[in-house]
Structure 1
Amino acid sequence: MTIEQRSARGAHLGLLAWSVLVGLSFPAVGLLSELPPLSLTALRFAIACLGLWGLVRRAPDVWPGWRALLWFAAMGLCLAGFFGAMFWAAHHATALSMATLYVSVPLLAYGMGRGFGVERPSWQLPAILALGAVGALGLAAAEAIQRGGSWRFGTGEAVFFLGCVCSALYPVLSRHGLESGRLPASAAVRTFWSLGLGGLLIGALGLAIEPVGQLAAMTWRDGLLIVYLGLCSSALTFWLMQRATALLGPGTVTAYGYLVPFVSMLLLFLESPSRIGWVWLPGSALVLLAIVLLLVQPSAPAESPGGARRDG
């Protein structure tokens, strides 16, 4: 196995860890008190940046030039757009509708990646992404059958779909910034600045529309959970994504999101073993098959100038 193949395999394993961390974050969020969600996200991102500072403060490219700063601002706007749309849509759309729409992100990322020239023309990858999307839809349908949910498309769903477009655009901008030499080689630096600027935008939106004073009602348990979410569910997950973006295409990177409902399903079974049933099997099998096929796909390394393959 070549060094390049080992690096790509490490990126895939990192994304497997990413899907587990993201899947575990949902139960943690559910334990939080009722707090302003946008302000809470901005606080998580601030904690994530504090945690990352120890990694980036001695990096030679920690202070980006104006071109990189503008690119980071665009990436931060993607984060603000996704989280803003998600929190608004949570009050205007069903959870099933949002889960169903979110499976479009990998295919959107691949399509936009082709437009930006950072995805190779291929029929295999879109087919694998479609397979994973069908599996994720199967898991959403299984949950709907057990909970009696329903799917519809209204204003809330339309807003959330725009948020999904923002989510898909984030790794595309990261990859294009790397290949064009606009962004630094260090994954930690890229994570630090995109989360920092994204957190500022989300925080500004929270100040404008939320009762920020409710954060004063935060308990010590809330504080511990937010620190965990900031370090593990924000800093570490976005670093793993940025690290993988330098080696894998945006479609492949985002496809690991198909595993998140699978992780949630496993947690559900641990909590309520009686809910295990055959209805979950088709979706689970398709998701796992898609991930296995992704693991054996050849990667397309970034071709950034100045040795951007370094991913510290």
Structure 2
Amino acid sequence: MSARLRNPPAAPMPGQAAPVRRDAMRGHAAMLVFATLISGSFSLGGMAAPFIDPAALTAMRFVIAAAVIGAAAVAMGALRRADLASPWRYPVVGGLLATYFVLMFEGLRLADPVSIAAVFTMTPLMTAGLARLVVGQRVTATVLAALLLAAAGALWVIFRADLDRLLAFDLGAGEALFLVGCLCHALYIPLVRRFARGESGLAFTFWTLCAAGAVTAVYAAPALAATDWPALPPVVWTALLYLALGTSAVTLFLLRYATLRLPSAKVMAYGYLIPSLVAVEEGLLGHGWIAAPVLPGVAATVAALVWLVAMREG
């Protein structure tokens, strides 16, 4: 079983095509839920941001998520001694995840959020290249075309259909830092597949969260100590619980689930859907609907993802 999880799936026999396709569709469904959960964190996180340091918030979300997933894993008997046969795997993937968030914070100190979001559009393409090196997954010309279409649509949404702002984009120090963070995130995806040893999703997620929490806590130690936790308003605790459970514990589980069923590049492509989902959610919250010129970007992103779903996996 472990070899099947570590390596790209072989081409199915004719009688196996339907089960493989159903398994892939479950992977796509998992990533759609993933993107929806992640998008919901932006509005909620924005309301909590004025009251807490983002590094402290992220460290605490990992700690809470690890505690909840750990309790669930113990209750379900999902933790086994064999899961720690190669314990170095978890600090590697957890460290990559923590580095991504740390560099995102540092990048945001030097660059505006729009530029940071634009840099993120490079992540699926980097994932495709790294997946070729790490697990031997090849990206077909059709998949590459769909990724480029999705990236173009996401950029159009991020820059609000303002071509002048898009052309004025400049890769400064903040963007460069976040680009390194995106590289870590891109490497995380194929390594999850490579490092799978047949352990349960709960076990892998728990140990990854423990490692990510430990690394982030070291970085955020001053902010954690300076935060007056009892004085925080309810919106912070609401955001913290959502981030810990919805966008840490659950999304990491979904990410691993999809990574074992889909090519890495297709998994990361769902990140392109997040700007459009955020725009829709902001409208539903009464913060203003997206302007008509932005809609082609939304349409391009959705069309590209539908195109990816319709493709045969591989």
Bin of the TM-score, shorter chain as denominator length: 0.7 to 0.9
* Residue 63 (structure 1) shift: 5.7
Quote the Cα distance in structure 2 between the aligned partners of 1:244 and 1:221. 31
**Contact persistence 2:35–2:270 (CA under 8 A):** yes
Aligned partner (choices 62, 65, 72) of residue 55 of structure 1: 72
Q: Over residues 167-208 of structure 1, what are the superposed CA-to-partner deviations in whole Å (9 max), with x where a residue is unaligned?
A: 111111101113xxxx3432221111111101100001111x
- 1:123-170 CA deviation, whole Å, 9 max, x = no partner? 222221111111111111216679999632211111010011011111
TM-score w.r.t. the length of structure 2 is 0.86
Task: List aligned pairs for 1:69-218, cutoff 5 A.
Answer: 69-142=87-160, 151-178=169-196, 183-207=197-221, 210=223, 212-216=225-229, 217-218=231-232
- 2:56 pairs with one of 39, 64, 70: 39
Contact in 2 for aligned 1:96/1:144 (Cα 8 Å):
no
Aligned partner of 1:64 in structure 2 is 83
Distance in 2 between the 1:2 and 1:148 partners?
43
1:269 equivalent in alignment to 2:283: yes
Give deviations 1:199-239, integer Å, cap 9, x for gaps: 100001111x5363224342344223211221111111111
Question: What's the C-alpha RMSD, in Å, of the aligned pairs?
Answer: 2.4
Q: Deviations over 1:37-65 (max 9, x none)?
A: 22221111111112212432212536633
CA contact (8 A) 2:41 2:242 kept: no
What are the ranges of 5 or more consecutive residues in structure 2 without an aligned counterpart? 1-16
The answer to which of 252-261 and 112-121 deviates more is 112-121
Relative distance call for 1:63 and 1:231 in structure 2 (3 A) is farther
Cross-structure match for 1:287: 301
CA distance 1:121–1:250, change in 2 (3 Å): closer
**Aligned to 1:59, what secondary structure does the other structure show?**
coil
Contact 1:78 1:166 in 2 (8 A): yes
Q: Deviation digits for residues 251-286 of structure 1, max 9, x if unmatched?
A: 111110011001011123334586443211221111
Query: Which consecutive residues of structure 1, in runs of 5 or more, have no partner in the other structure?
Result: 301-312
1:116–1:137 distance in 2 versus 1, CA, 3 Å: same
Q: Normalising by structure 1, report the TM-score.
A: 0.87
2:234 and 2:158 mapped to 1: Cα distance?
A: 34
User: 8 Å contact 1:96–1:149 — kept in the other structure?
Assistant: no
Q: Does 1:12 align with 2:28?
A: yes
Q: Which amino acid aligns with 2:104?
A: M
Indicate how the Cα distance of structure 1 residues 21 and 287 shifts in structure 2: closer, same or farther if over 3 A, else same.
same
Query: Residues 148 and 269 of structure 1: is their aligned pair in 2 closer, same or farther, counting only changes over 3 Å?
Result: farther
In structure 2, how many angstroms separate the alpha carbons of the residues matched to 1:295 and 1:31? 34
**What is residue 303 of structure 1 aligned with on the other side?**
none
Q: Which residue of 2 aligns with 1:228?
A: 242
Q: Assess if the C-alpha contact under 8 Å between 2:157 and 2:297 holds in 1.
A: yes
Quick one: structure 1 residues 121 and 261, their matched pair in 2 at CA, closer, same or farther if it must change by over 3 Å?
closer
User: Letter of the aligned partner of 2:293 in structure 1?
Assistant: V
Quickly say closer, same or farther: Cα 1:144–1:99, change in 2 above 3 A.
Answer: farther
Alpha-carbon separation, structure 2, partners of 1:45 and 1:96 = 25
**Larger displacement relative to structure 2 (131-140 or 183-192):** 183-192
Asked if structure 1 preserves the Cα contact closer than 8 Å seen for 2:83 and 2:203, the reply is no
Alignment identity in percent? 29
1:6 Cα offset (Å):
1.3
Taking the aligned partners of 1:213 and 1:250, their CA distance within structure 2 comes to: 39
